[in-house]
């Protein structure tokens, strides 16, 4: 069930690839690569919640981010909290009170756009699991080089990158669900990056739809 994005994405954006059902036990799983960053994501849910995590009017979302090597650190906690917050707004959690939705993210390879790759992988895993969602979310990373150029592909030399901006959009209104940045940049650059990423997000949603369609035919 491999799907490539080559057919409709130009060369100056990262290539997207995904494989659904990569894990047999989870309700939804995906192996997703954006450029050269690779993430495996899986969803269990709704499942029984542990006693101290029960919320009476909605499902509790738990995210577990595992780095490539070693135990999760403080940085991974931040990623977990961003992914969890996005899932809480996108998944229709009020439909499953007193249950838990478990989101597992395993980093496989990091070449810059790790956060957007992880968010997109979670989005695809949610869709694969068939859990009810209010909308689909898609993330785009954008890199600002030292000479002020914006690009969606990370530079090979890390030192030339001045800032990285990640935006998460929804597929219905194109509103901004999340924004995460690293490095310094001007407001003007932020605006341009936002516009660029919004345009690029349409390709991400197109990719999500094409890949699900391809998986559905099988």
Partner 1 sequence: MAEEYKSLHPLKYYRDYFAHDIRPDGREFADYRPVIVNVGSISTADGSAIAKVGKTTVICGVKAELCRPRPECPNKGFLVPNLELSPLCSSKFKSGPPGEEAQVLTQLIADVIENSRCINLEELCLLKDKLAWCLYADLVCLDYDGSLLDACIVALMACLRSVTLPHIDYDPALDVKQTNLQERRHIAVHSMPLACTLAIFDDKILLTDPTVEEENLSSGSVTVVINGDELCSVHKPGGSILSEDQLLDCIGKSQARAKSLQELINSAVNAANKMG
Partner 2 sequence: MVASTDLGFFLPGEVIKDIESKDKYTIIGPGLRRNEEDPNSLVATQAGRLTFRAPNTYWIESRRNRYIPKKGDLVVGVVTKKSGDILKVDIGCAEFAWLSLLAFEGSTKKMKPNVNVGDLIYAKLLNAHKEMEPELVCVDQYYKSGRLGVLPNEGVLINITLRLTHTLLNAENPLLRTMAKKFPYEIVIGVNGKVWIKANQAKDVLTLCKAFEAAELESEKSIIEACRQHK
Residue 82 engages partner 1 in binding (rule: CB under 8 A)? yes
The CA dihedral of 20, 22, 25, 26, to the nearest 10 degrees, is -50
Closer Cβ to partner 2, 125 or 142, answer by number: 125
Q: Work out how close the CB of 76 gets to partner 1 at its nearest, in angstroms, rounded to a whole number.
A: 9
Task: Give the residue among 137, 134, 139, 161 at the shortest CA–CA distance from 150.
Answer: 161
The footprint of partner 1 on this chain (CB under 8 A) covers a number of residues equal to 35
Which option in partner 2, partner 1, none does residue 106 bind, with CB closer than 5 to 8 A by kind? Answer: none
Q: Work out how close the CB of 65 gets to partner 1 at its nearest, in angstroms, rounded to a whole number.
A: 12
Which option in partner 2, partner 1, none does residue 197 bind, with CB closer than 5 to 8 A by kind? Answer: none
Residue 2 engages partner 2 in binding (rule: CB under 8 A)? no
Q: Which residues inside 51-80 make contact with partner 2, applying CB under 8 A?
A: none
Quick check: bond before 46 cis, omega within 30?
Answer: yes
Sign of CA dihedral 140, 115, 156, 37: negative
3-class DSSP state of 118: helix
State the DSSP H helix or E strand holding residue 132, giving kind and residue range, or none if neither.
none
C-alpha span between 183 and 200 (Å, rounded): 21
- Per CB under 8 A, the segment of 42-50, 102-110, 146-154, 190-198 that binds partner 2 is 42-50
Which option in partner 1, partner 2, none does residue 53 bind, with CB closer than 5 to 8 A by kind? Answer: none
Residue 106 engages partner 2 in binding (rule: CB under 8 A)? no
SS3 for 31-42 is: EEEECCEEEEEE
Residue 187 engages partner 1 in binding (rule: CB under 8 A)? yes
Task: Give the residue among 24, 98, 92 at the shortest CA–CA distance from 59.
Answer: 98
Residue 186 engages partner 1 in binding (rule: CB under 8 A)? yes
Backbone angles phi, psi at 168, to 5 degrees: -120, 125
Site map (CB under 8 A) of partner 1, residues 48-77, x = contact: --------------------------xx-x
C-alpha span between 169 and 178 (Å, rounded): 7
Backbone angles phi, psi at 152, to 5 degrees: -90, -10
Q: Work out how close the CB of 153 gets to partner 2 at its nearest, in angstroms, rounded to a whole number.
A: 26
Closer Cβ to partner 2, 19 or 36, answer by number: 19
Q: Interface with partner 1 by CB under 8 A: which residues?
A: 74-75, 77-78, 80-82, 84-89, 163, 165, 168, 170, 173, 175-187, 190-191, 194, 198
């Amino acid at each position: 069930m491999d799907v490539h994005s080559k057919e409709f994405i130009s060369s100056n954006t990262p290539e997207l690839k995904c494989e659904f059902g990569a894990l047999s036990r989870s309700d939804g799983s995906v192996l997703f690569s954006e450029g050269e960053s690779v993430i495996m994501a899986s969803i269990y849910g709704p499942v029984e919640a542990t006693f101290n995590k029960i919320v009476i009017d909605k499902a509790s979302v738990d995210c577990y981010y595992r780095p490539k090597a070693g135990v999760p650190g403080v940085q991974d906690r931040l990623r977990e909290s961003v992914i969890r917050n996005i899932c809480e707004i996108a998944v229709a959690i009020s439909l499953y009170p007193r249950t838990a939705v478990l989101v597992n993210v395993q980093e496989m390879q990091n070449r810059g756009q790790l956060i957007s790759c992880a968010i997109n992988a979670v989005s695809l895993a949610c869709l694969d699991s068939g859990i009810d969602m209010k909308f689909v979310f898609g993330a785009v990373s954008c890199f600002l080089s030292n000479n002020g150029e914006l690009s969606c592909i990370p530079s090979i030399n890390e030192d030339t990158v001045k800032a990285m901006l990640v935006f998460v959009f929804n597929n219905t209104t194109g509103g901004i669900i999340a924004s995460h940045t690293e490095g310094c940049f001007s407001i003007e650059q932020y605006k341009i990056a936002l516009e660029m990423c919004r345009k690029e997000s349409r390709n991400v949603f197109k990719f999500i739809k094409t890949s699900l369609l391809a998986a559905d035919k099988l």
